[in-house]
Chain A
Amino acid sequence: MVEISIFILLVFMIIGMVFVLEMKNLLSAVVMMGAIDFGLSVIFLLLSAPDLAIVQIAVAVISLVIMIRATIHREIVETPSQESTFSSRVVMLCFLFLFFILIYPAFSLLPIFGEPIFAESASSSMKYLLEGMTQTGSPNIVTAIVLDFRAYDTLGEAIVLFTSVLGAVSVLRYRNRKKPGSST
């Protein structure tokens, strides 16, 4: 049942992607991206990953607002439709065929859907699942791993966000001479 729901949502997301790529209006494409993000969040929820679903829907909403704000003031230009010639389509189909041939062995090596990969008791993820609650005191195993066992990676992610904030501030700053005291 979960697989069927995920399959339906994936088909919906692929149709949405095609609409995003083909749409002439920039604002409609941005709104369609929001629908795709919502579908992805529901997929995470069906795969019983509520932490990831919350983060996905919140980041999708915030990026949607930023993108709408960025596109709604620009004059929306219709992109000139490029006439795709017959040879370019043939080349594209050849590359798709080659891609599927090359990636087929990797697909056959994947485990069955829903099978736990690291189920052996000796693996590190099993150790986290067994001892995470007693060692960190946190019933949410995701938080226990992210903020205790792998807290150094979380520090790296925080530094990545800090660097992006610094980049935005330093690129988009004003040098306003009229009001030197005000911090704009």
Chain B
Amino acid sequence: MTGMTIIVKTVAEWIKGFIIFYGVYIVLLGHLSPGGGFAGGVIIACSFIMMELAFGKDQAAKELSKHGSHLLDEYGALAILFLGLLGYFLPKLPFFSNVLMQKFSFIPFHILSAGSIPLINLAIGLKVSTGLYSVYIYLSHYDPRMQEDE
């Protein structure tokens, strides 16, 4: 039985969803209110780290493993690059130009507005949350004694 006491486990189980929900809210409304991909991604990573601290590394590896978080981090970086390359699909437009804003007309102050800005926010949120979580999990699980018997 790894992890902390049953009180910490129960409370962590209760508030896990709220923290993830708050992080997703900050990411999704990054173009309307304060926040954005980086802040929301850090909050989501906080909830993952809380689960890892409360339940131990084996239970945390079932939800999001080291390899999986690293892969998601790479997919987030690729998504940002792809959204930047969208600018080349129209002639005479530079890298990272807001193509969706110029092709379609949006109602301002709605969630579906501002063209590709919410999509870039989502990609940055995915990248930051999984990237910080994988940095934490590699830092905390490192044991120098396991390297020596190689």
A125 at the interface (CB under 8 A from B): no
Query: Quick one: closest A residue to B36, CB to CB?
Result: A143
Query: Quick one: closest A residue to B69, CB to CB?
Result: A165
**Majority SS at the chain A contact face:** helix
B62 at the interface (CB under 8 A from A): no
Tell whether, in the assembled complex, residue B31 and residue A62 are in contact, meaning their CB atoms are under 8 Å apart.
no
Query: Quick one: closest A residue to B44, CB to CB?
Result: A58
Q: Cα distance A62–B38 when bound, in Å?
A: 13
B-facing mask of A135-164, CB < 8 A → 1, else 0?
111111011101110011011001101101
Tell whether, in the assembled complex, residue A162 and residue B42 are in contact, meaning their CB atoms are under 8 Å apart.
no
Query: Using Cβ atoms and an 8 Å threshold, which residues of chain B touch A142?
Result: 34, 36
The distance from the CB of B115 to the nearest CB of chain A, in whole angstroms, is 6
Chain B residues within 8 Å of A, Cβ to Cβ? 26, 30-36, 38-39, 42-43, 45-46, 49, 53, 65-67, 70, 73-74, 76-77, 80-81, 84, 95-96, 98, 101, 106, 108-109, 113-115, 117, 120-121, 124, 127-128, 131-132, 134-136, 138-140, 142, 146-147, 150
Knowing that A62-B45, A148-B96 touch, tell me 20 more A-B residue pairs with CB under 8 angstroms: A51-B34, A55-B38, A58-B39, A59-B42, A61-B46, A62-B49, A62-B136, A65-B53, A140-B34, A143-B114, A147-B120, A151-B84, A154-B120, A158-B77, A158-B80, A158-B127, A159-B77, A165-B135, A174-B147, A175-B147
